[in-house]
């Protein structure tokens, strides 16, 4: 009886340990991303149209798809080699952010999310990409 209890306690303990290790090493949460106030309150000046969404799609496929994936799920071929977890651009958590937060993250970036202000300097192009990303579901 005593050894039996000891064994199951050990089993439970190892399950807990494995769980803990998995939780600790599964980066399924983005670390908090502070967006400066002047960006946060920014409004998208480009009303979404079929034309600018098409422009956004072309640019997204050229510059963003390799990491973010065709449908924005964060499953592009380059994503596998990154340490940072990329949240789905189709998720409610992504969508509920302000225009300016989406803009800041997309073009200023941080760490493994590159800065795109030099590669995509045109404001209309930038907002066209933001508009295209809104279509992910």
Options 4-12, 21-29, 46-54, 83-91: segment touching ligand HEC (CB under 6 A): 83-91
CB 136 within 8 A of CB 60: no
Options 5-13, 14-22, 35-43, 98-106: segment touching ligand HEC (CB under 6 A): 98-106
Residue 27 CA to residue 117 CA, distance in Å, equals 27
Nearest-approach distance from CB 24 to ligand HEC, in angstroms: 18
Residue choice 27, 61, 112, 117 for contact with ligand HEC (CB under 6 A): 112
Cα atoms in the 13 Å half-sphere on the side-chain side of 11: 6
Residue 127 found at the interface with ligand HEC (CB under 6 A)? no
Contact track, ligand HEC, 61-80, x by CB under 6 A: --xx-xxx---------x--
DSSP string covering 54-105, please? HHHHHHHHHHTHHHH-TTSSS--GGGGG-SSPPPPTTSHHHHTS-HHHHHHH
Tokens of 71: 């449908």
Residue nearer to ligand HEC on the CB measure, 99 or 102: 102
CB 36 within 8 A of CB 100: no
Nearest-approach distance from CB 4 to ligand HEC, in angstroms: 47
Q: Which residues bind ligand HEC (CB under 6 A)?
A: 30, 63-64, 66-68, 78, 82, 84, 86-87, 94, 97, 102, 105-106, 110-114, 116, 120, 129
């Amino acid at each position: 009886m005593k050894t039996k209890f000891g064994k199951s306690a050990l089993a439970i303990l190892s399950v807990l340990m494995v769980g803990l290790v998995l939780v600790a090493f599964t980066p399924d949460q983005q670390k908090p991303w502070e967006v400066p106030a002047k960006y946060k309150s920014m409004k998208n000046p480009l009303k979404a149209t079929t034309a600018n969404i098409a422009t956004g799609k072309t640019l997204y496929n050229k510059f963003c798809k390799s990491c973010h994936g065709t449908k924005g799920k964060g499953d592009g071929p380059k994503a596998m080699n990154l340490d940072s977890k990329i949240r789905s651009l189709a998720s409610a958590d992504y969508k509920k952010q302000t225009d300016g937060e989406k803009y800041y993250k997309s073009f200023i970036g941080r760490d493994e999310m590159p800065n795109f202000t030099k590669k995509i300097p045109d404001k209309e192009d930038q907002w066209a990409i933001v508009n295209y990303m809104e279509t992910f579901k």
